[in-house]
Amino acid sequence: MARFGWKVSGTKVRLALLGSLLALLAFAQDAPPIRVNVQLVRILATVKDQSGALVGTLNKENFTIRDNGVEQSVAVFERQTDQPLSVAIMIDNSGSTAKDLKYETDSVIRFLHAILREGNPEDSVGLYSFNWEVVKQNTFTRNQTAIERSLRTLRGEAGTSLYDAILLASRDIQDRPGRKVLVIVTDGGDTTSHTDFQRAVEAAQIADTVIYPVLVVPIINPAGRNTGGENALATFALRTGGRVFQPSLGAAMDKAFDEILRDLRTQYLLAFYPHDVPLTKERFHALDVATSDPVLQVKARSGYYGEALPATSVGPSGSVALTPSDESVRTPRKPATTKKGTP
């Protein structure tokens, strides 16, 4: 009898629990959804003193971050981060680069070896070339021989699809773990892209990548230079936290790559969860990163794409929906020469 009584009692308990769960589910379906912003905004920053020397000894409390003017709490902090590094090396092989291409690729190869010789064993490099079309020569890899082989086969031809190249590389690198960098070796501005400057810079900022343009100016006289293109490259660097180099060929270009590598080895990783941020109609949030010492100069991304007022449509992760014009970047305008799956 006692055993039978326990069974009845246990059944009653289970029925009571089941009823409570059903009631909770019904309440949850009727209750309005609660929105919680859990987006972690990452910022890669470099800091220099008045003489231009890199400063790598700051602590979390030395930094302040403002999102649309409102100070945020630093949730993640790493000094001289050892997170894996993905570097997209982008080579302009338009017609105007033909005579200098060999010297440029020689410097790029030395840079490639330096990246993969030091740092995190998970660091990797991808290679893109761009003229009238964008070609992904090598997917992200540590195979230096394969990348060097691709570099040696490049030839100068036709126009410059710089914005298309930035858009494509940014989307390729967006979901890779760790730190992401685009190094662009070019001699001028865009001439043949499908996309425009704004869409390209937006793709780079959504991908959380830092852009370092290496601008090899073929003409010294300002009257013959593409100053508009040079200004666009400077803006790409400013908005993503990188900087522009304007070296000559040879030793000066090697020095530029050395400085990029030092920047990458002396970065700070800062991250925060946005709170109490005033929203606007624009998805773009302005960021201001500073240190407690006003003398120090901080280079970091100028903003990110996040929440906006309801009138603006935002994807679940701040992503931009692809349009036919975006997709055309991935389709060459002549018979396909893209090397798919090259290690």
- Segment 280-323, tens digit of pLDDT: 999 999 999 999 999 999 999 999 999 899 864 444 444 443 33
Average pLDDT, the chain: 82
Instruction: List the strands of the sheet with 134-141, edge to edge.
Output: 134-141, 124-130, 85-92, 179-186, 210-215
- The CATH number of 85-265+319-330 is 3.40.50.410
Q: What percent of the chain has pLDDT over 90?
A: 64
Distance CA 248, CA 32 (A): 62
pLDDT of residue 2: 41
d(CA 138, CA 342) in angstroms, rounded, equals 5
pLDDT top residue among 207 and 318? 207
pLDDT > 50? residue 339? no
Give the global pTM: 0.79
- 189 pLDDT exceeds 90? no
Q: What is the pLDDT of residues 83-136, one digit of tens each?
A: 999 999 999 999 888 888 889 999 999 999 999 998 889 999 999 999 999 999
**Can you list the alpha helix ranges (DSSP code H) found in 153-273?**
162-173, 197-206, 227-240, 251-265
Q: Residue 84: how many CB atoms within 10 A of its CB?
A: 16
- pLDDT for the residue numbered 20: 56
Q: Are 319 and 335 in contact (CB under 8 A)?
A: no
Q: How confident is the model at residue 54 (pLDDT cuts 50, 70, 90)?
A: very high
Which stretches of 75-209 are DSSP H helices?
101-117, 144-152, 162-173, 197-206
Residue-level pLDDT at 249: 86
Q: In what order do the strands lie in the sheet with 70-72?
A: 70-72, 63-67, 284-291, 303-305
d(CA 58, CA 61): 8
Query: Which pLDDT score is estimated for 100?
Result: 86
* pLDDT attached to residue 151: 96
Each domain of the chain, given as residue ranges in start order, spans: 1-31, 41-79+268-305, 85-265+319-330
